[in-house]
């Protein structure tokens, strides 16, 4: 690769599989120093080992990013392992359960908001001072096309992912004067374990492009947003969705 992220210090949450793993592998190939987070110790350790084929500076921190004390520990580890932080990718999340609001209970709602939205708030709040002191930073928050359009049977998930978009836009306005970019990626149908569990057939029928998306499609975009090439891009919601939503 071309070393587009050489000198970058990146923390990626939910890096053990799917989109997060693809982003980790691409970041390593582009020269970033990495701290990889996931709640699944074995999965994230395996991805870290793959990343070390391209980057010697790869560290792991197992933590539940919906837990405030765990997030504090995660960012302490980022400073200790990487010496600072210039890129944050908030990818950790859980998927919708395919229930209407009448069948959803408060515990399901609270869990979804905690993992898919509160975790993003906690991580951004911890990252901004580190990036401010460095004088540069990039925050990439993973939302979903469902957060843009809404989808029946996904009220908690759609609400959380729409919240990620609102958070990203507001934070971009707060941090631009510190040269911290904040953007959201809102993927459409991507071939991951999560999407396979939820089922793909109805969403795939909406695509204009002759295939569904892959985690690498999102990783390519994340590399750009983390690089100096994207310095003038902030407060944006970019939705790679194969033309399902135009």
Residues annotated catalytic, as ranges: 157
C-alpha torsion sign, points 217, 218, 220, 224: positive
CB atoms within 10 A of CB 56: 9
Measured distance CA(227)–CA(244) in Å, rounded:
27
Helix (H) or strand (E) holding 10: strand 9-12
Measured distance CA(180)–CA(48) in Å, rounded:
27
Residue carrying structure tokens 């919708």: 96
Residues 6+ apart with CB under 8 A from 100: 152, 153, 155
Measured distance CA(8)–CA(239) in Å, rounded:
24
Nearest residue to 185 via CA among 133, 141, 220: 141
- Residue 19 gets the label, from left (phi > 0), alpha (psi -120 to 50) or beta, of alpha
Nearest residue to 103 via CA among 154, 62, 33: 154
């Amino acid at each position: 690769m071309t070393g587009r992220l050489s000198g970058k210090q990146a923390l990626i949450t939910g890096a053990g599989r799917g989109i997060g793993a693809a982003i980790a592998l691409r970041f390593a190939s582009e020269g970033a120093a990495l701290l990889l987070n996931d709640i699944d110790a074995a999965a994230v350790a395996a991805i870290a080992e793959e990343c070390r084929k391209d980057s010697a500076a790869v560290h792991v921190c197992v933590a539940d990013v919906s837990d405030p004390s765990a997030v504090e520990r995660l960012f302490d580890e980022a400073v200790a392992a990487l010496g600072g932080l210039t890129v944050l990718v908030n990818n950790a999340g859980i998927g919708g359960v395919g229930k209407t609001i009448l069948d959803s209970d408060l515990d399901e709602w609270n869990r979804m908001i905690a993992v898919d939205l509160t975790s993003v708030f906690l991580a951004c709040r911890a990252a901004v001072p580190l990036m401010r002191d460095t004088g540069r930073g990039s925050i990439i928050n993973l939302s979903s096309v469902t957060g843009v359009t809404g989808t029946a049977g996904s009220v908690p998930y759609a609400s959380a992912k729409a919240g990620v978009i609102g958070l990203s836009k507001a934070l971009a306005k707060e941090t631009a004067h510190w040269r911290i970019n904040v953007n959201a990626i809102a993927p459409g149908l991507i071939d991951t374990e999560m999407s396979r569990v939820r089922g793909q057939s109805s969403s795939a029928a909406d695509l204009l492009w002759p295939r569904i998306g892959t985690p690498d499609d999102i990783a390519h975009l994340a590399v750009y947003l983390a690089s100096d090439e994207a310095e003038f891009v902030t407060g944006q919601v970019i939705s790679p969705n194969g033309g399902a939503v135009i």
